[in-house]
A and B are shown apart, each in its own frame.
Chain A
């Protein structure tokens, strides 16, 4: 690895006064180099920025280039430079103008947009300016436009834009075209007058009229400008003017027909770049049929050539073609070739082929394509298997000619790529089987076949256990399918499976036992023995099932009701299809979070299907309820409340309809996955159902909880908001809030009484988040300024919103961010505490003994010096307490106090009213009783002394992981979506026993 020692060396050099311009330049470049190699360079930014104002070109140039590489648009230093930059832009020196325009074009932010836009526009349109300045002005304006769309909202801008396209200089034209693309993509109507100009430009290029030699590339007139122009044309919905349309089609026809394969690679690439863009434009314009089939023919040729780039692009463009026209039939003719591409040595090409096959699949060719995918699955590389199996599953479901084929496909998938089959896939097959009576014996027979194979994947065991448990009795008359034999086959697998599968097996045993008519004593004793064995299992889920089934088995008639066959599922949209959209981007990114997000709607369906158990007539609106869920509720573990809610529903329903509890059982089998639980809650509800039958009022009256439970299905934050807040109080960057749709990260810098936070709002979806609103509710002592938060966050984009904080005076109040957004029909509103807390304005400072004691003495008595005996302190060893204080930026000075049980700390507090203020702290602990201590605080400001004392006290008393009572509205109840201790985590259980 590279030796990082030069870093401090350069740092020393760069900050030396009196460097010659050459040396300064040299060190700034070295700094950039180090940064480029991936080392954090947090020094020298000022030096780079200061070079911008150097009088000579070479220094200035370095300053501009390095600044635009090192800083981002929100950096404070940029503000220092804004005046110099403006002077350079409006100055007379062309070269300076270019440098300044380029930097603003690369990193200019909103402030630049506001102050510079008119000047940049003037340059772009000026007739006296040389092309080399104007081309940069065009792209600079593009940047400013993106930062603030109002900069081009001037009257007549569209006409000027059209004039710009008459430009002869190709450099200016290239840049202007980029600007135009951005403008028309937002609002094509305003720029219709540019359309004929674009066509004219294209014609000029295609006919090679008046193109300087310098701009032809291997004989092709600027391929990049051609591509850009055709891209711009794709943003106009249609071309109405017949003359323009005809001209354009002539040009396109020429490109389509006139592009030949040549030997020179570069020429070939360049001409094909133009050709592919022309193809895209033809597709967009929905040309005559003849031209379309010409395009498909070309693409058909491309996907079979040897040159891999062309093959890749051929497949990619064919996929696009599927979307825009009904060229399906013609494309289908190439199916065989596409399937061959699925076996290409290049993964990029295989991916394209898979995408295309997926897109072109319909009822007529589904069987072929899916079988092809299945075959390929066993040889496909691991990175693709998950996507492949998911797509095969979806196609099988969507286009299945008959359901038995569908079952076959899914079982094959599980057999061949069990590791890559997500739970959704096998849940779906279970749903289908349950809902189709004809399918049940077939599926049962089929899974039995698979189970008899020597090595069976665990997912196969799961699905088999489920299906055999439910439907094996339908096979009872076939040879080898007696309950006992089925039990033996299943039971063989038990030693090989993990704890998540054992519960399903136990359920299957219980069901088999129930279906055994007449009762088989031997089987019964065998199964009872298993239940007995697992009654003491360490896994709570398994243990509970074993206990309950054992109890149930002895119930006789009641057993029949509870273990009856599952009722039909309500029809629901496949969650797989939604999932596929996510996997487009990157299969490796498939995370549990997303799955959860997609599961949610179906879960909601299950729950809302149930009549409200507590008699509430309508779902209560979201707002008040979430507030009603007071801290006491929050601290109860979520898991229990879920169960209570479920049991409540179940309990009351059992009396009405004995079928229902089992309905819930299945609902649960699919439901809890949405909340990350193992298929666990299932039996819990059953258990409670049992206790109801026995008359034991085991289930707590959960009526108040049920509606909360219901609305929890809207959006659940991931992780504990309070914990995240506390973590952020101690560090400067991290995640503030996360739910399935959005992640809010925070990054903070603190300098004296100023703070600069950046909120990172990241949309995790492939759909935009709309109506995004962020409102700051600052306490009186903080001045906060949140930059504009965009109304919409585009799919998978991250938006940064800087937030300026000024601390006016000491206080422990906390700022609150009222954040809301809309996703689909879900309106989400959260109130988040911001970690702009007292300790952020502290700066640890060591104070030597000879200074400490005079200071300590001079601050005598209240209100500057306060003393308090604190009781109920969380007991912790002294070093831990020292660490805690250190983490709050209170610097411990060991050795100042002769008593080793005491701690002495010092720090500086910054605020606008107090400026820098030294604070001294002494904590005396009692080794005999760690729950109490005496704390003495001294500073030059009475409020500060008091606030800091209270602050430290809070930290010492409260347990940081538990949410303290906050002045702000309590975090939404969903904060607890994930139970803190998974009930089936053996380690957690043990810990619980020991404490």
Chain B
């Protein structure tokens, strides 16, 4: 199945974006997010980017004040996911220009559009930034 969820959390632990590719109830999500945030945010730069939690593996990366946390199956290629996070950030960068937490907060829909183009049902659909961004650009032009 691959990717189970993608979270963007700031360093205060507030969720900025959450996208799940398997159905969890609200309580389960809340509990899961809380546990993961507690585990990952406490780690430092010298530690690796992988955390084992329940039956997931969390691959995470920090960009300034924002953490990108991706929950994957245990047998997923961790480094590929780690770079996928970076690809996501670069894509956002290309669109927003020097993306920051506020961009994602205030343009939640755009962030969702990009994710939607990149991941579907837990699998990677597209890795070309131009292709990912073309629907959004079309829409921006139309409006």
CA distance A58 to B138 in the complex (A): 11
Whether B64 is near chain A, meaning CB under 8 Å from some CB there, is: no
Q: Which of B2, B17, B121, B126 contacts A106 (CB 8 A)?
A: B121
Q: How many residues of B contact A (CB 8 A)?
A: 55
Q: Are A346 and B127 touching (Cβ within 8 A)?
A: no
Whether A266 is near chain B, meaning CB under 8 Å from some CB there, is: yes
Q: Are A309 and B78 touching (Cβ within 8 A)?
A: yes
Q: Are A73 and B23 touching (Cβ within 8 A)?
A: yes
Whether B137 is near chain A, meaning CB under 8 Å from some CB there, is: no
> B-side binding surface: helix, strand, loop or mixed?
mixed
Whether B52 is near chain A, meaning CB under 8 Å from some CB there, is: yes
CA distance A266 to B46 in the complex (A): 17
Q: Which of B17, B19, B26, B143 contacts A58 (CB 8 A)?
A: B143
Q: Name the residue on A nearest B21 (C-beta).
A: A106
Given A33-B108, A58-B139, A273-B83, the answer on whether A217 and B121 have CB atoms closer than 8 Å is no
Render A655-696 as a binary contact track against B, CB cut-off 8 A, 1 for contact.
000000000000000000000000000000000000000000
Q: Are A174 and B50 touching (Cβ within 8 A)?
A: no
Q: Are B48 and A346 touching (Cβ within 8 A)?
A: yes
Q: Are A214 and B87 touching (Cβ within 8 A)?
A: no
For chain B residues 53-87, which have a beta carbon within 8 Å of chain A? 53-55, 77-80, 82-84, 86-87
CA distance A647 to B131 in the complex (A): 77
Whether B124 is near chain A, meaning CB under 8 Å from some CB there, is: yes
Query: What residues on B are CB-neighbors of A225 within 8 Å?
Result: 127
Q: Are A269 and B79 touching (Cβ within 8 A)?
A: yes
Given A277-B77, A312-B50, A346-B47, the answer on whether A215 and B127 have CB atoms closer than 8 Å is yes
Whether A233 is near chain B, meaning CB under 8 Å from some CB there, is: no
For chain B residues 69-112, which have a beta carbon within 8 Å of chain A? 77-80, 82-84, 86-87, 108-109, 112
Q: Are B78 and A313 touching (Cβ within 8 A)?
A: yes
Q: How many residues of A contact B (CB 8 A)?
A: 67
Minimal beta-carbon separation of B89 from chain A (angstroms): 10
Query: What residues on A are CB-neighbors of B49 within 8 Å?
Result: 308-309
For chain A residues 78-109, which have a beta carbon within 8 Å of chain B? 95, 98, 102, 105-107
Q: Which of B29, B123, B142 contacts A139 (CB 8 A)?
A: B123
Given A38-B15, A273-B80, the answer on whether A142 and B48 have CB atoms closer than 8 Å is no
Query: What residues on B are CB-neighbors of A270 within 8 Å?
Result: 79-80, 83
CA distance A284 to B19 in the complex (A): 33
Query: What residues on B are CB-neighbors of A105 within 8 Å?
Result: 120-121
Q: Are A222 and B127 touching (Cβ within 8 A)?
A: yes
Q: Are B120 and A106 touching (Cβ within 8 A)?
A: yes
Q: Are B120 and A309 touching (Cβ within 8 A)?
A: no
Query: What residues on A are CB-neighbors of B19 within 8 Å?
Result: 69
Whether A862 is near chain B, meaning CB under 8 Å from some CB there, is: no
Whether A823 is near chain B, meaning CB under 8 Å from some CB there, is: no
Minimal beta-carbon separation of B117 from chain A (angstroms): 9
For chain A residues 96-151, which have a beta carbon within 8 Å of chain B? 98, 102, 105-107, 132, 135-136, 139-140, 142-143
Q: Are B112 and A65 touching (Cβ within 8 A)?
A: yes
Query: What residues on A are CB-neighbors of B23 within 8 Å?
Result: 72-73, 107
Whether A212 is near chain B, meaning CB under 8 Å from some CB there, is: yes
Query: What residues on A are CB-neighbors of B80 within 8 Å?
Result: 223-224, 227, 270, 273, 277
Query: What residues on B are CB-neighbors of A208 within 8 Å?
Result: none
Q: Are A309 and B82 touching (Cβ within 8 A)?
A: yes
CA distance A258 to B23 in the complex (A): 41
Given A106-B21, A171-B128, the answer on whether A273 and B77 have CB atoms closer than 8 Å is yes
For chain A residues 336-358, which have a beta carbon within 8 Å of chain B? 345-346, 348-349, 351
Minimal beta-carbon separation of B85 from chain A (angstroms): 10
Whether A36 is near chain B, meaning CB under 8 Å from some CB there, is: yes
Whether A175 is near chain B, meaning CB under 8 Å from some CB there, is: yes
Query: What residues on B are CB-neighbors of A646 within 8 Å?
Result: none
Given A214-B128, A227-B80, the answer on whether A65 and B123 have CB atoms closer than 8 Å is no
Query: What residues on B are CB-neighbors of A102 within 8 Å?
Result: 116, 120
Query: What residues on B are CB-neighbors of A277 within 8 Å?
Result: 77, 80
Given A65-B113, A132-B131, A174-B127, the answer on whether A351 and B52 have CB atoms closer than 8 Å is yes
Query: What residues on B are CB-neighbors of A309 within 8 Å?
Result: 48-50, 78-79, 82
Whether A586 is near chain B, meaning CB under 8 Å from some CB there, is: yes
Q: Are B83 and A269 touching (Cβ within 8 A)?
A: yes
Q: Are A65 and B79 touching (Cβ within 8 A)?
A: no
Q: Are A174 and B124 touching (Cβ within 8 A)?
A: yes
A-B contact pairs, 21 of them (CB 8 A): A33-B108, A37-B15, A61-B113, A65-B112, A65-B116, A102-B116, A105-B120, A139-B120, A139-B121, A170-B127, A174-B127, A175-B125, A224-B127, A225-B127, A269-B82, A312-B78, A345-B46, A348-B50, A348-B51, A585-B54, A586-B52
Known interface pairs A308-B48, A312-B78, A586-B54; 8 further A-B residue pairs with C-beta atoms within 8 A, sorted by A's residue number = A36-B15, A40-B26, A106-B21, A106-B120, A171-B128, A273-B80, A311-B48, A586-B55
Closest 3 CB pairs of A and B: A273-B79, A308-B48, A178-B123
